[in-house]
C-alpha cells in the first residue's frame, strides 16, 4: 500500500477485489459491453465476467492496481509488459468449469470482448491496458495522478523508456487527458473487428516518454 496523493491509496489488486473491479470496468466500458450484448447487471453474466477477468489477471506479464479511499475502490488500471516479470501477481487460474457454467454464448462474447484489450507491448514500453475511475470521483484529478504515478513506476521499477496506450480517436475527453499528461499520437490504426462490433474503426496508438 502506498499513497497516490494526500487523499487516496494505491496498491496491487487482490482476488477479493474482483467484484468491485468488474463493476468499475463495466461502468467505464458500458457502451462497448452493451454493443456486445453483455449485461454486467445480470448475476450470471457478472460471475462469468469475473471468472474470465480473473484468468486474464493471473498472467505474469500484467499487473492490476486499485486506488482506494477508506478501503473503497474508486479506480483501477492494468499495466502490461513483454516479460513475465510480475512475480507478485496474486491471482490463480480460474477452474475451467467456471467459464462454461453460465452459458457458452455469453462466454464466447466475453472472451472476444476481453481479447480487445490484449496487447503485447515492445520490450522498451509498458502498456496501459485500461484505466477506470468511479463516476462519482471523476473530475477530481485522479486519472491524471494515476498517469503520473504510472510514468514514474514504469521508469523506476519496470525500467521502460515509454508508456503506451490505445484510445478511440473520437474520445475527445480521453485524448485531451492523455495529451495533457505528455502522451503524443505515434500512429493511427484501424480495426475491422471493432468496426463491426462497436462501430469504432480508428484508434490512436499513443506514447509517452518516461524520462
What pLDDT does 108 receive?
A: 83
Report DSSP state, residue 200. -
The SS3 assignment for 175 reads helix
Q: Which residues of the chain have pLDDT under 50?
A: none
The whole-angstrom separation of Cα 130 and Cα 146 is 12
DSSP H helices in the chain? 18-28, 30-35, 43-57, 96-100, 104-115, 142-156, 172-180, 192-198
Residue 145: how many other CB atoms lie within 10 Å: 18
What pLDDT does 189 receive?
A: 85
What pLDDT does 135 receive?
A: 93
What pLDDT does 77 receive?
A: 95
Residue 116: how many other CB atoms lie within 10 Å: 16
What pLDDT does 182 receive?
A: 96
What pLDDT does 5 receive?
A: 74
Report DSSP state, residue 135. G
What pTM was estimated for this model as a whole?
A: 0.88
The phi and psi torsions of 175 (rounded to 5 degrees) equal -60, -45
What pLDDT does 87 receive?
A: 62
The whole-angstrom separation of Cα 203 and Cα 211 is 25
Residue 25: how many other CB atoms lie within 10 Å: 21
What pLDDT does 150 receive?
A: 96
The whole-angstrom separation of Cα 155 and Cα 166 is 20
Amino acid at each position: 500500500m502506498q499513497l497516490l496523493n494526500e487523499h487516496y491509496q494505491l496498491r496491487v489488486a487482490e482476488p477479493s477485489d474482483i467484484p468491485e473491479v468488474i463493476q468499475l470496468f463495466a461502468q467505464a466500458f458500458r457502451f462497448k459491453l452493451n454493443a456486445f450484448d453483455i449485461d454486467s447487471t445480470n448475476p450470471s453474466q457478472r460471475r462469468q465476467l469475473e471468472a474470465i477477468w480473473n484468468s486474464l489477471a493471473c498472467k505474469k506479464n500484467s499487473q492490476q492496481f486499485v486506488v482506494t479511499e477508506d478501503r473503497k475502490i474508486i479506480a483501477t488500471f492494468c499495466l502490461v509488459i513483454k516479460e513475465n516479470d510480475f512475480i507478485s501477481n496474486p491471482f490463480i487460474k480460474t477452474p475451467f468449469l467456471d467459464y462454461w457454467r453460465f452459458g457458452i454464448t455469453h462466454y464466447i462474447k466475453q472472451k472476444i470482448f476481453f481479447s480487445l484489450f490484449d496487447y503485447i507491448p515492445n520490450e522498451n514500453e509498458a502498456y496501459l491496458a485500461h484505466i477506470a475511475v468511479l463516476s462519482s470521483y471523476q473530475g477530481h484529478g485522479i486519472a491524471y495522478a494515476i498517469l503520473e504515478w504510472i510514468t514514474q513506476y514504469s521508469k523506476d521499477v519496470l525500467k521502460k523508456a515509454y508508456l503506451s496506450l490505445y484510445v478511440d480517436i473520437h474520445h475527445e475527453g480521453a485524448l485531451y487527458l492523455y495529451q495533457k499528461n505528455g502522451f503524443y499520437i505515434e500512429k493511427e490504426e484501424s480495426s475491422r473487428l471493432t468496426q463491426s462490433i462497436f462501430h469504432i474503426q480508428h484508434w490512436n496508438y499513443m506514447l509517452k516518454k518516461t524520462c
